[in-house]
A = this chain, B = another copy of it.
Amino acid sequence: MSDTTARPDLLSWTCPAPVRDRPRVVMGHGGGGAMSAELIEQIVLPGLGGPVQAALTDSAVVELGGARLAFSTDSFVVRPLFFPGGSIGDLAVNGTVNDLAMSGARAAYLSCGLILEEGIELDTVSRVAEALGAAARAAGVRVVTGDTKVVEAGHGDGVYINTSGIGLIPAGVDLRPERVTPGDVVMVSGAIGVHGVAIMSERENLRFEVEIESDCAALGGLVDAMLSVTSDLHVLRDPTRGGLAASLNEIAAASGCGVVVQERAVPVPQPVAGACAMLGLDPMYVANEGKLVAFVPREHADAVLAAMKAHPLGSEAAVIGETVTDHPGMVVARTGLGGTRVVDMPMGEQLPRIC
């Protein structure tokens, strides 16, 4: 879908930019790419230190009272608050529900922490709450505890939301990148790049022939459908900030496998491809909020793909590649022209405050 060598505007991502050379936080530290990882690994985790859990992943698997739970948190700072196909309220529910689903857990309970900026209209708060409630009902999750803080005008941006969530992980389900082995089949649940382009077009007031709406959706039901085929999926990931490229790179790095993607097999809607070309974006790096990527043992791949296609949120599911023993930890795309290119981990942010 893209060729980095033909996109000089993207080259800055691939420059090394270690945290030690940046004494202050920059927007790129929130982009979900290499700079975010550096911030976490070089600043936050060493600070936390000691017996605090080493890996602050999006969703933790913990034992409590004999139950195996997934526990996840996300803060939402998207701008604007409302955009085609969704709102910060939808993102706040679906983002955390999806993080839990990627551990195989069906979200049961959510918390909701609001940081309101002095001066925001109560009507806006009300609309955000309505969106949250509707999204929670659609996802079958209950918002059970909350908190509201207010900060002075000029120290917020209307509404920031944190949601955290907990859910039960079914017996036999063990989804993590370390389980990925060469020969796994890589599939996505549908078209990529839609959310980021929807946000960008709203923010920049761009109009395309076809309005592009965010794909924001709760993936718990789709994951249930996939797990009903086999509990032996290897890893699931929802490619949000940093897009599909970041998710594939994280999994490649953690598993030690190489990943080969057939670029032409990656579903990108024509309007998204057109918008990306115009904006100088690569769909592989654009955030999604209602899609997942799955690494599946080859013997289950056909059945899992069929289960995805039978679900409304997976009707455009597609196999996009496989894992290999070559180039361990690296993601390579086979281009339509028969060549190959490395799909790097993004460095900073392509579109800030996308979620």
A contact set with B: CB distance below 8 Å? 19, 22-31, 36, 39-40, 43-53, 56-60, 62, 64-69, 71-77, 108-109, 111-123, 125-130, 132-133, 136-137, 142-152, 154-157, 160, 162, 164, 166-168, 349, 352-353
- Cβ-defined contact, A113 with B75, below 8 A: yes
- Cβ-defined contact, B142 with A47, below 8 A: no
Docked pose: A30 CA to B47 CA in angstroms: 30
Kindly identify which residue among B111, B155, B167 contacts A72, using a CB–CB cutoff of 8 Å: B111
Copy number in the complex reads 2
- With a CB–CB cut-off of 8 A, which chain B residues contact A71? 109, 111, 144-145, 166
Q: A24-B121, A75-B113, A122-B19 are in contact. Are A148 and B64 (CB under 8 A)?
A: no
Chain B proximity of A58: nearest CB distance (Å): 7
Q: Which residue in chain B gives the minimum CB-CB distance to A89? A: B47
Docked pose: A44 CA to B129 CA in angstroms: 6
Q: A122-B19, A147-B58, A148-B40 are in contact. Are A132 and B64 (CB under 8 A)?
A: no
- Cβ-defined contact, B30 with A133, below 8 A: no
The majority secondary structure among interface residues of chain A is mixed
Docked pose: A40 CA to B75 CA in angstroms: 20
Chain B proximity of A156: nearest CB distance (Å): 6
- Cβ-defined contact, A150 with B352, below 8 A: yes
- Cβ-defined contact, B73 with A27, below 8 A: no
- Cβ-defined contact, B112 with A51, below 8 A: no
- Cβ-defined contact, B56 with A122, below 8 A: no
Docked pose: A36 CA to B114 CA in angstroms: 12
- Cβ-defined contact, A23 with B113, below 8 A: no
Docked pose: A39 CA to B117 CA in angstroms: 14
**Interface contacts beyond A71-B144, A152-B352: sample of 6 additional A-B pairs, CB < 8 Å, sorted by A:** A24-B118, A24-B122, A48-B136, A57-B145, A65-B69, A66-B67
- With a CB–CB cut-off of 8 A, which chain B residues contact A152? 27, 352-353
- Cβ-defined contact, A25 with B150, below 8 A: yes
Docked pose: A152 CA to B125 CA in angstroms: 21
- With a CB–CB cut-off of 8 A, which chain B residues contact A119? 24-26
- Cβ-defined contact, B43 with A125, below 8 A: yes
Sample (8) of A-B pairs whose CB atoms are under 8 Å apart? A25-B117, A29-B148, A47-B129, A48-B133, A52-B137, A58-B147, A65-B65, A76-B149
Docked pose: A30 CA to B151 CA in angstroms: 8
- With a CB–CB cut-off of 8 A, which chain B residues contact A112? 56, 73
- Cβ-defined contact, A25 with B57, below 8 A: no
Chain B proximity of A141: nearest CB distance (Å): 9
Q: Which residue in chain B gives the minimum CB-CB distance to A133? A: B48
Docked pose: A53 CA to B137 CA in angstroms: 11
- Cβ-defined contact, B129 with A43, below 8 A: yes
- Cβ-defined contact, A30 with B150, below 8 A: yes
Docked pose: A122 CA to B17 CA in angstroms: 14
Docked pose: A139 CA to B40 CA in angstroms: 22
Q: Which residue in chain B gives the minimum CB-CB distance to A132? A: B48
Chain B proximity of A214: nearest CB distance (Å): 18
- Cβ-defined contact, A51 with B142, below 8 A: yes
Docked pose: A71 CA to B49 CA in angstroms: 24
- With a CB–CB cut-off of 8 A, which chain B residues contact A40? 146, 148
Q: A113-B74, A164-B111 are in contact. Are A126 and B47 (CB under 8 A)?
A: yes
- Cβ-defined contact, A26 with B150, below 8 A: yes
- With a CB–CB cut-off of 8 A, which chain B residues contact A24? 118-122
- Cβ-defined contact, A143 with B48, below 8 A: yes
